[in-house]
Chain A
Amino acid sequence: MANKSKLFDDAVASLTSLPGIGKRSATRLVLHFLSRPQEEAIDFVQTIENLVKNIKYCKKCHSIADDEICPVCASAKRDQSFLCIVESVRDVMAIEETGQFRGVYHVLGGIISPIEGIGPEDLNIETLKSRLQEDGIKEVLMAISPTIEGETTIYYLSQIIAPLGISVSTISRGVSFGGELEYTDEVTLGRSILARLPYNIDKE
């Protein structure tokens, strides 16, 4: 069923190309643009245009940035010897959100999965190697999802990092905070017991 306006249909079609947007939502959004002052929609489009034309990827960590080097890598307040390796920019955002990490990042841009045709050479591993050697990194934290592909990536990177005498850790995995044991699956619970933590009363 076609609408009377091709312009309208085109706008709906391009919005439905976005993830999570179906035809119904797209129609609502287009109608919204039409009901508002023209400048609003033009501003909106210009913001997106600005973003895609001018965004840069940090030369050190490969996270998104406005300049050659991102604010985190440029900051004197961050511990430049503590490196957190993540899969994607989204993970950087998630970790920054916690406010718990004071080091710097390295974005791999994916994880190793030969089935998907992604090998180590497709990831930002060469730049990682040079950073490890040149930037005085003392500790590496692997914040990578504990899937089979994630574990493989961690394992692979550890083989590169360990001989350099840099300590490697992974984020802990196990029973989620506020979760109940009864509802935790056996694999997770089993691993939580194997990788149990010393309990410290003085801990904050």
Chain B
Amino acid sequence: MMGLELANLFNLLNYWAKSSYLCRMYLQSIRLTQFKNYGQRKFDFNARFNVVTGHNGVGKTNLLDAIYVLCMTKSFFGGTDRNIIRKETDFARLAGIFRMEGGMKQMDVVAKVIKQKKKTFEVNGKVYDRLLEHVGRLPVVMIAPDDTLIATGGSEERRKFADNTLSQKNPAYLSALVRYNRLLKQRNALLKSKSGWLDMNLLQSYNDQLLEPAEYIFSARKAWTDALTPLFNEYYSLISGAREEVSIAYKSPLSQDAFSVLLDKSLEKDKILERTTVGIHRDDFVFFMEEMPLKRFASQGQRKSFVIALKLAQYQFLAQASPELPILLMDDIFDKLDRERVANLVEVIGESGFGQVFITDTHPTRVSELLDIPHQVIDID
């Protein structure tokens, strides 16, 4: 009896810890000026659940992307910064008020994108010298219809997913990545510029400098793959209701041999192809379902559940690494999911391990009917 009570007490404490302490980072309001299709618009949000409804093309996805920009300093959908400025105008401004429990109580984040000028980000009036300092302060996870590309697309999609997670978790990862990419670009330019004679000393300078960031990224990606797999399995079975075992394997040339050795071995090949053919920029992650590669096997519905589970695992991974619960953005995810899976998903994100959630849906009441906790409906129409 005593043991049971203690266990209950522990669960309760755990619940409090997550819900009353961790769950406190949220976006209170956002003000958009000439961002994508918006002219001038302000939204106030619920600290927990927000359902964004409206017809196609009114800007539901853009609203989620605006939140993403404030957290990550760039659009989820990539492209140049100019694309976030409303057509036929010269600048865009986004201002969000984030509330949190620990440290700074309130973060006023303002992003300004002006044509032909550098994009600026400021927090409580202080402008960042380097944008990458902002990444990770406001953790965020976006679940979007295009996500199935992580499973079916090229290896670049999967590296992007890994980099997005690890950059938010640790600023040093993003620094290492920026450094690696810059050195790689220089090394490739060197290989390209000299078709006849190659300055081996200079090549060696790049090789040696690449080692440190490459090893750092390699070990971070490896540790991440291991940490993600159990979370991923848990969410996959919760959403799909299925028992299939899912897993992720990290494939990197660096697990075969030391990077310096690999670079030496591939020298002749690099010279001929005029680019660097080995390194962490060639890494891949392979997904398995019941020990079969996912790419070939799963059905569309399975893939969809698979990728959503992957994103939820990313969410929990970030939640464990950060004092704040990340913001979860879910764009149009009910497409291609049957009713049962939708209900499972809504139940999962309604649990205490999740913080502020934004969901878009063209259907005005579908999500509301499934949600039994207080939430706010934002109708953009």
Query: CB within 8 Å of A: which of B139-186?
Result: 171-172, 175, 179, 182-183, 185-186
In the complex formed, the residue of A with least CB distance to B191 is A114
In the complex, A113 Cα to B182 Cα: how many Å? 11
In the complex, A185 Cα to B206 Cα: how many Å? 25
CB distance from A15 to the nearest CB of B (A): 22
CB distance from A158 to the nearest CB of B (A): 9
Query: CB within 8 Å of B: which of A107-160?
Result: 112-115, 117, 119-120, 148-149, 151-152, 155-156, 159-160
User: Is A186 a contact partner of B189 (Cβ separation < 8 A)?
Assistant: no
Q: Report if B290 contacts A (CB, 8 A).
A: no
In the complex, A161 Cα to B199 Cα: how many Å? 16
| Known pairs A115-B186, A160-B201; A152 contacts B175 (CB<8 A) | no
Q: Report if B124 contacts A (CB, 8 A).
A: no
Q: Report if B193 contacts A (CB, 8 A).
A: yes
Q: Report if B209 contacts A (CB, 8 A).
A: yes
User: Is A159 a contact partner of B193 (Cβ separation < 8 A)?
Assistant: no
In the complex, A113 Cα to B193 Cα: how many Å? 11
User: Is A148 a contact partner of B202 (Cβ separation < 8 A)?
Assistant: no
| Known pairs A155-B205, A159-B205, A185-B130; A148 contacts B199 (CB<8 A) | no
User: Is A115 a contact partner of B185 (Cβ separation < 8 A)?
Assistant: yes
Of B171, B185, B205, most A-chain CB atoms within 10 Å: B205
User: Is B193 a contact partner of A156 (Cβ separation < 8 A)?
Assistant: no
| Known pairs A152-B209, A155-B205, A156-B202; A185 contacts B189 (CB<8 A) | no
In the complex, A28 Cα to B183 Cα: how many Å? 45
User: Is B179 a contact partner of A148 (Cβ separation < 8 A)?
Assistant: yes
User: Is A159 a contact partner of B172 (Cβ separation < 8 A)?
Assistant: no
Of B190, B192, B204, most A-chain CB atoms within 10 Å: B190
User: Is B186 a contact partner of A152 (Cβ separation < 8 A)?
Assistant: yes
Chain A residues whose C-beta falls within 8 Å of the C-beta of B351 in the assembled complex: none
Chain B residues whose C-beta falls within 8 Å of the C-beta of A160 in the assembled complex: 201
User: Is A113 a contact partner of B186 (Cβ separation < 8 A)?
Assistant: yes
Chain B residues whose C-beta falls within 8 Å of the C-beta of A159 in the assembled complex: 201, 204-205
Chain A residues whose C-beta falls within 8 Å of the C-beta of B172 in the assembled complex: 186-187, 190
In the complex, A152 Cα to B172 Cα: how many Å? 20
Interface residues of A, count at CB 8 A: 19
Chain A residues whose C-beta falls within 8 Å of the C-beta of B133 in the assembled complex: 185-186
Chain A residues whose C-beta falls within 8 Å of the C-beta of B208 in the assembled complex: 155
Task: Choose among B186, B189, B193 the residue that contacts A148 (Cβ–Cβ < 8 A).
Answer: B186
User: Is B179 a contact partner of A119 (Cβ separation < 8 A)?
Assistant: no
User: Is A114 a contact partner of B190 (Cβ separation < 8 A)?
Assistant: yes
CB distance from A25 to the nearest CB of B (A): 19
In the complex, A148 Cα to B185 Cα: how many Å? 11
User: Is B193 a contact partner of A119 (Cβ separation < 8 A)?
Assistant: yes
Task: Choose among A112, A113, A117, A186 the residue that contacts B171 (Cβ–Cβ < 8 A).
Answer: A186
User: Is A151 a contact partner of B209 (Cβ separation < 8 A)?
Assistant: yes
Chain A residues whose C-beta falls within 8 Å of the C-beta of B199 in the assembled complex: 119-120
Chain B residues whose C-beta falls within 8 Å of the C-beta of A117 in the assembled complex: 193
CB distance from A146 to the nearest CB of B (A): 12
| Known pairs A114-B189, A186-B175, A187-B175; A119 contacts B183 (CB<8 A) | no
Query: CB within 8 Å of B: which of A147-199?
Result: 148-149, 151-152, 155-156, 159-160, 185-187, 190
Chain A residues whose C-beta falls within 8 Å of the C-beta of B192 in the assembled complex: 114
9 contacts between A and B (CB under 8 A): A114-B186, A114-B189, A148-B183, A148-B209, A152-B205, A185-B129, A186-B171, A187-B172, A190-B172
Additional pairs, 18, CB under 8 Å, beyond known A114-B187, A119-B194, A152-B205: A114-B189, A114-B193, A115-B186, A119-B190, A119-B193, A148-B182, A148-B209, A149-B186, A152-B206, A155-B205, A155-B208, A155-B209, A156-B201, A159-B204, A186-B133, A186-B171, A186-B175, A187-B172
Q: Which 8 A-B pairs have CB atoms at the shortest separation, nearest pair first?
A: A114-B189, A114-B190, A155-B205, A115-B189, A156-B205, A148-B182, A187-B175, A159-B201
